[in-house]
């Protein structure tokens, strides 16, 4: 039990639609990262938020965007869904990016695009 | 730039046998190194990490790993496999000037434990 929860656990969307995935971090954690894990692969870094500002992005297009809120929750938004966006999306909560080295992962949201 | 190579996408051992999962990394800065375990339909759980100091790192569930800078390796071992160890294992690296939340992961190794 990591104290990080994601919703929903499963989701099916149609190509071209938009989706919002949610993450609730541990209380007091000011840093959250999002990862995409395609089937049979390791997680790939999408972006990180620190104190509600984006703090680094991986090799993902702008249609992947995020928000972080003062109540330790965050969102991942994906516009214009493509079939290749089907994956497990993981959020990882970190106490403070300057101090802590351990990331606590949620159980993930399985997104299927049809 | 960072990268991780996990040698062997599938490893099968007998219960009670030694577990050895191999990880080699590349990093342009001194690395932080991690091993995670993932059970089906679940997130990642940290097994152990190397940041600084002692190069032999002990983790949960009897696992340990040794950081070898000269070999750019961070192999995961467990002396005696248990059926409950069957899972997917991921090695990850992040640079010390960044943080654990920006890790680069390998493609994983599926560990099967035979009775």
Q: Is the confidence at residue B97, as pLDDT, over 70?
A: no
CA–CA separation, A95 vs B88, rounded Å? 26
Q: How many CA atoms lie within 13 A of A13 on its CB side?
A: 25
* Residue B106, Cβ density class (10 Å: 0-12 exposed, 13-18 middle, ≥19 buried): buried
What SS3 class is residue B19? strand
Q: Which residue has the tokens 């997104």?
A: A111
Mean per-residue pLDDT, B6-16: 96
Which chain B residues are within 8 Å of A102, Cβ to Cβ?
Answer: 46, 49, 100
Mean per-residue pLDDT, B101-114: 94
pLDDT for res A48:
94
Contact status of B20 with chain A (Cβ, < 8 Å) = no
The more confidently predicted of residues A63 and B102 is: A63
Contact call for A42 and B46, based on CB within 8 A? no
pLDDT single digits (tens) B24-75: 999 888 889 999 999 987 889 999 999 888 899 999 999 999 999 999 999 9
Give mean pLDDT in consecutive 10-residue pieces for chain A, a chain of 114 residues: 90 98 90 94 94 93 96 95 97 83 91 98
């Amino acid at each position: 039990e990591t104290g990080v929860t994601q919703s929903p656990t499963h989701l099916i969307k149609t190509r071209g639609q938009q989706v919002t995935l949610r993450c609730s971090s541990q209380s007091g954690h000011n840093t959250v990262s999002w990862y995409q894990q395609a089937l049979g692969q390791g997680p790939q870094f999408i972006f990180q938020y620190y104190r509600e500002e984006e703090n680094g992005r991986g090799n993902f297009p702008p249609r992947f965007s995020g928000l972080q809120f003062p109540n330790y929750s965050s969102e991942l938004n994906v516009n214009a869904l493509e079939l290749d966006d089907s994956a497990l999306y993981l959020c990882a909560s970190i106490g403070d990016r300057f101090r802590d080295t351990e990331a606590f992962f949620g159980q993930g949201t399985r997104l299927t695009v049809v | 730039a960072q990268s991780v190579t996990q040698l062997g996408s599938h490893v099968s051992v007998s219960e009670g046998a030694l577990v050895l999962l191999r990880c080699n990394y590349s990093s342009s800065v001194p690395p932080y190194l991690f091993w995670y375990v993932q059970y089906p339909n679940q997130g990642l759980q940290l097994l152990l990490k190397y940041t600084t100091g002692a190069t032999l790192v002990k983790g949960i569930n009897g696992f340990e790993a040794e950081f070898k800078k000269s070999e750019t390796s961070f192999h995961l071992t467990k002396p005696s496999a248990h059926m409950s160890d069957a899972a997917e294992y991921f090695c990850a690296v992040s640079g010390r000037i960044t943080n654990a939340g920006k890790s680069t992961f390998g493609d994983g190794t599926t560990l099967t434990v035979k009775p």
